[in-house]
Structure 1
Amino acid sequence: MAGLYVHIPFCQGKCPYCDFFSLAGAQHLLPQYSFSLSHHLRQWAQSGKPGESLATVFFGGGTPSLLEPKAVGAVLEEADRLFGLESAAEITLEANPGTLSLEKLHGYRSAGVNRLSLGVQSFAAENLSFLGRLHRPGDIKESIIWARRAGFDNLGFDLMFGFYGQTHRAFLGDLQRAVDLAPQHLSLYGLTVEAGTPFAELEKGGRLLVGTDEKWAAMFREADDFLGHHGFCHYEISNYAQPGRDCRHNLVYWRRLPYIGIGAGAHSFFASGWGERWAAPDDLGHYFSRLAEGENPSLRLEGFSREQAMRETLYLGLRTAEGVSEADFQNHFGSGVAAAFPRALQHLGKNVHKEEGRWRMTLEGWLIYDHLIQEFF
């Protein structure tokens, strides 16, 4: 099982909290960029990677819904020709409400996209304004209606929480509105202020107040309880799904399975040896130049040692409800989890437990995951 990630680093406007590689106001470069994506795929094929067919494809960004359906279809056709797309491949496109139309969604569906991830963030106009989003609440409902008319039966929403001024009542209101619209998947992201973003500058100057850890934790627990009562499985720290509707592409990441990345700033991972990670430059000029010279713009960043691979297996696996299989860990690394990390497990205490042959983190452990996971490093 292998995945393909396609990075589309173009946006109508840069959100003040976003630290991903993306460019606002550069959509005139989209035709050249779209052509380059197929060229990048051919470079990977010449290298012999990933060496297996593709079970998942994910168009992320940026704002992938700025791409025309014809361009999306061209990438998928080339990926199928070069690597083979499995018959039941999950093909996801991230989309922002306000960038869609019924005609465009029909085009994406005809091109092969079968899963849509909508960047909703909030259903409240004042929260959307605070977060710098360009769409309005009405755009969200309209996009969902169009998506279903176009034949999409696998929809996911992204929501944000924990920011200053958002009340618990408003957050639960967002969750209720989301559930009422019957998505198959929900991703909930607590707002964090990342270095180098406009929000970071505002916070530094005392012009931005952020939510407290206590508020974040309370909302995290509320979401787990509320969504559980509405049939959603909390299958990863930030992700919930109806039974059988987990995002399979994200599972590729968390299970440390191979994936290739195309597009400026895209990362790739291959499981050969103990694993190796590659990355394309997050600079369009450099990216275009490498392709013009007949080179793969993705370069090898690092190779993992056995110990590094063990740590990353736990780092990623403990994010998920399925956890880490003791038997698989033993078979792959020649050592059990407890034998490899006795001190770390002792420090983690009741936040991590072994049940039915799998190591899992508790809900309370997930709340302080970033702190706890440092025990393995």
Structure 2
Amino acid sequence: MFILLSRLITIMPGLYIHIPFCVRKCPYCDFYSEAETEVSIPEFLRALRTEIELRAENWIIPDPAETLFFGGGTPSLLSANQLSIILHYLRDSFAIQEFPEITVEANPGTLSPEKLEGYRQEGVNRLSIGAQSFLNAELDFLGRIHRADEISRSVRAAREAGFGNIGLDLIFGLPDQTLSAWRVSVHQALELEPEHISTYALTWDNETPIGKRIQSGELPAPDESRVSDMYLWTSEILRSAGYAHYEVSNFARPGFRCRHNEGYWTGRPYLGLGPSAHSFLHEKRSWNLRDIREYIHQLRLMKLPVEGEEELSYAQRKMERLALLLRRSDGIPLDELPGNPEKLDPFFSEGLASIRDGRFALTPRGFLLADGIALRLAD
């Protein structure tokens, strides 16, 4: 029997705040953001305050939020004062733990020592820096606004400002990228000694500029075999450096897993605020309008800017929990796996999974096939 409902909704919700502004839109990015807009940050903050107040009227979870995550877009375009304003709105409206994890995604090209010191003073205790690559040619291809040397300067400035929890994001699997080029970025990231490293294979939507170039044949699609080799090499080198490969794309030193993202993967409720933000509560998923102008318009009318919602069926909840837990190195309890235990044997013989502490968990090689394995287990 698939044990689900008692474990799916748990205490300690998370709050996600989407900051939809960018200096320049990256050609691979499908997240909602605006690089050229007449909407000012102060105008957006006024609308965000209204959404926070409206949401709080219907927020029925009594437990205090344990994580706050500012994503985007480029949240580090906010000044320390603007960030302080948002945190004030949130604390006025929601119960928040005394010492929550507060993460800000940051672009190295938007950070200064003064801004970092201001963030730290406002209670931000986790910085997720979008390095993406330590090679300028790759940064140009990805449309990033920073140079490779700005990454190390940003990390040093963050350390001097008092940050003890810094993550670096890297992207691999670019068209024609070699393993040796990827190794340069990974080794330079390790030299900076971050507490957390995320490595993402390049993905694209067909409507993004890079997606269109690949679809037209102007760019070659990344070679799957080479991408797999990069992934497995990365897992080996980061684990040997003391990082736990705790989720498909994420590595952390002991005690530094991203608590906010762990909430997503383990089924905790979360509330998304801002344009395009998603929420999940009591088996219902909802998402906000993906247009900042319409978002502001609806809030001026004192209406929640919800674009759509979906109540998940039992089968959907079961499949989603299975797929998400398989993404984690902790795996899934054996008593939650559907079907005959003998169906697990091929995964063990192929080196894709193991059993640890009564849980079925994928190996790094299994992580490469996580979605397919989830489908096979659910069948």
**TM-score strictly above 0.5:** yes
Deviates more, 1:161-170 or 1:248-257: 161-170
Paired residue secondary structure (1:34): helix
Alignment partners' CA distance in 1, 2:299 and 2:151: 37
Alignment partners' CA distance in 2, 1:48 and 1:192: 35
The answer for the alignment partner of 1:87 in structure 2 is: 98
Shift in CA distance, 26/343, structure 1 to aligned 2, threshold 3 Å: farther
Where does 1:28-177 land on structure 2 (aligned, <5 Å)? 28-177=39-188
Paired residue secondary structure (2:338): helix
The answer for the alignment partner of 1:283 in structure 2 is: 291
The answer for the alignment partner of 1:318 in structure 2 is: 326
Letter in 2 for 1:297: P
Query: Does 2:234 match 1:223?
Result: yes
Alignment partners' CA distance in 2, 1:196 and 1:49: 38
Q: Is the CA contact 2:50–2:302 (under 8 Å) kept in the aligned structure 1?
A: no
Where does 1:266-305 land on structure 2 (aligned, <5 Å)? 266-270=277-281, 272=282, 275-298=283-306, 301-305=309-313
Q: Of residues 270, 273, 285 in structure 2, which corresponds to 1:262?
A: 273
The answer for the alignment partner of 2:197 in structure 1 is: 186
Q: Is the CA contact 2:109–2:145 (under 8 Å) kept in the aligned structure 1?
A: yes
Alpha-carbon offset, residue 29 of structure 1: 2.1
Deviates more, 1:82-91 or 1:296-305: 296-305
Letter in 1 for 2:168: F
Alpha-carbon offset, residue 352 of structure 1: 4.2
Paired residue secondary structure (2:297): helix
Letter in 2 for 1:116: L
Letter in 1 for 2:360: W
The answer for the alignment partner of 1:337 in structure 2 is: 337
Q: With CA pairs under 8 Å and 6+ residues apart, which has the higher RCO, 1 or 2?
A: 2
Alignment: residue pair count: 365
Structure 1 runs not aligned, ≥5 long: 328-335
Letter in 2 for 1:239: N
Deviates more, 1:349-358 or 1:130-139: 349-358
The answer for the alignment partner of 2:254 in structure 1 is: 243
Alpha-carbon offset, residue 84 of structure 1: 2.1
The answer for the alignment partner of 1:332 in structure 2 is: none
Letter in 2 for 1:295: K
Query: Which digits, 9 at most, give the CA deviation of each residue in 1:190-210, with x for residues without a partner?
Result: 112322100111112221123
Alignment partners' CA distance in 2, 1:353 and 1:138: 41
TM-score normalised over the length of structure 1: 0.92
Alignment partners' CA distance in 2, 1:325 and 1:169: 38
Shift in CA distance, 326/312, structure 1 to aligned 2, threshold 3 Å: same
Shift in CA distance, 326/374, structure 1 to aligned 2, threshold 3 Å: closer
Alignment partners' CA distance in 2, 1:76 and 1:302: 29
Q: Supply the RMSD in Å over aligned alpha carbons.
A: 1.9
Alpha-carbon offset, residue 369 of structure 1: 2.1
The answer for the alignment partner of 1:330 in structure 2 is: none
Letter in 2 for 1:322: D
Letter in 2 for 1:256: G
Alignment partners' CA distance in 2, 1:325 and 1:37: 40
Q: Is the CA contact 1:52–1:83 (under 8 Å) kept in the aligned structure 2?
A: no
Deviates more, 1:176-185 or 1:199-208: 199-208
Q: Is the CA contact 2:47–2:300 (under 8 Å) kept in the aligned structure 1?
A: no
